[in-house]
Structure formats: C-alpha cells, structure tokens
C-alpha cells in the first residue's frame, strides 16, 4: 500500500443516520470492509443506477401506454372530424356569399345602365 492509499479520505455509512460520513486513518473502520473510497462509492452508484434504470425500462406498462396513445389518437381524430365539418360549413357559407355578391353586382350594373 503506497502513501496515497494510506492517507486518502474514506467514508463509512452511519448506523444512526444512514448517511455516508468522512473518516480519517484514526477511525477504527478505516481499514475495514465497511469503509469506501470516493471512487468505490461512485462505482457502486453507477452499478445501482444501471439496475434501477433497467428496472424502470422493464416496469413500463406497454399495454397501458398503447391504450393511452390509442385514446389520444381517437380524441384528436374526433377533433379533426369536427374541424372538417366546420370547414365544410364555412365553405358553404362562403359560396353563398359569393353568389349573393354576384347578384348584388348584377343588380348594381343593371341600375347603372338603366
């Protein structure tokens, strides 16, 4: 063991709080299997994160997600159909307006020529 390993900061998990606390060489657990270096804690965290992330991926309820997405598609399909109906009504009203405008123009032209 070199000098750097002998004097590096280590951590132990407190039995009272459950938190990791810094210890120095004089602590009775400094050389025990209970103590961890910062790098060992980081490696442990990475391993735990991998397990947790894998579990999160597996825990997705794909059937539920399918039904949620299907409901959303049906909802927006219904909205689209409503918008299409509104468009058809507006087009019909616009055609009527154009016809009425043509009639008004014809009446005005007739009144000017007479």
- The model's pLDDT over 30-85, given as tens digits with 9 standing for 90+, comes to 999 989 998 999 988 888 888 877 766 666 677 777 878 888 888 888 888 889 99
Check residue 73 and give its pLDDT: 87
The backbone torsions φ and ψ at residue 25, rounded to the nearest 5 degrees and listed phi first, read -60, -25
Show me where the domains of the chain are located: 3-58, 61-114
Q: How far apart are CA 114 and CA 108, in angstroms?
A: 10
Per-residue pLDDT tens over the stretch 80-97: 888 999 999 999 999 999
């Amino acid at each position: 063991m070199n000098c750097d390993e002998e004097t590096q900061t280590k951590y132990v998990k407190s039995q009272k709080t459950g938190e990791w606390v810094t210890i120095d060489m004089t602590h009775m657990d400094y050389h025990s299997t209970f103590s961890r270096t910062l790098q060992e804690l980081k490696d442990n965290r990475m391993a735990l994160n991998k397990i947790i992330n894998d579990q999160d991926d597996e825990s997705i309820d794909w059937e539920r997600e399918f039904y949620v997405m299907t409901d959303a598609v049906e909802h927006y399909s219904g909205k689209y159909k409503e918008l299409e109906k509104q468009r058809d009504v507006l087009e019909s009203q616009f055609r009527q307006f154009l016809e009425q405008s043509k009639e008004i123009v014809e009446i005005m032209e007739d009144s000017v020529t007479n």
